[in-house]
Amino acid sequence: MRNICVIAAAGLAMAACMPGGGEAEREDVAARDADGETPGMTITSEDGSVTIHTGNSTGTRAGDLPSYPGGQPHGSAQMEASAADGGSGQVVTFQTDDPPAEVIAFYREALESRGYTIETEVTSTQMHAVSASRNDGESGANITATATGPNSTMVSLVVGNVE
């Protein structure tokens, strides 16, 4: 039941962000429950689509970035979006026992090896973050790793591209 509430709230929030101040006409909504192929919801309009996965169905991979070794999917919703003009993006959260600095070092190397340029890096006592853009200016990534306790780090990956 909680997953259904999260899905409904996320769907309403995204509808409010649609062009025209939330006045966009809903063309298609598909929802699948735990007995379906992938629990979640897809909202489609002429501008594109957003899929919200509930549970841990999408793993720890986002865009062309690798899965984090030993990362455990976390949270009740993970999102993928695609626009009619070819743009797309993903939001994924996961938990690991590794410290934030180690997580960011892993993704920094992955980003640089895939042609991303590190634009911003932020470090504090409990949080490390990196923002990067692809050399072609068409792709971007934000990775945040926050210590949530001893041997516990929450990681958020946001990856998007424009085509």
Q: Which amino acid is at 92?
A: V
pLDDT band at residue 109 under the 50/70/90 scheme: very high
Dump pLDDT digits (tens) for 29-79.
Answer: 445 544 455 566 677 777 666 666 655 555 666 777 888 898 887 664 556
82-163: in CATH 3.30.310.80 = yes
Fill in the DSSP letter of residue 24: P
CA neighbor of 125 nearest in space, from 105, 155, 145, 108: 145
Report the b/e string of 76-113 with b at 16+ CB within 10 A: bbbbbbbeeeeebbbbbbbbbebbbeebbebbbebbee
Give the pLDDT score at 26. Answer: 43
Closest to 63 in 3D by CA, of 156, 139, 144: 139
Please say if the pLDDT value at position 25 is more than 70.
Answer: no
Comparing 114 with 19, the larger pLDDT belongs to 114
Q: What are the tens digits of pLDDT across the range 129-163? A: 999 998 777 788 999 999 999 999 999 988 887 76
Domain ranges of the chain: 82-163
The mean-pLDDT minimum among 8-12, 77-81, 83-87 falls in 8-12
Taking residues 2-8, what's their average pLDDT?
Answer: 36
pTM for this structure?
A: 0.66
Q: Strands 127-134, 152-161: parallel, antiparallel or unpaired by DSSP?
A: unpaired
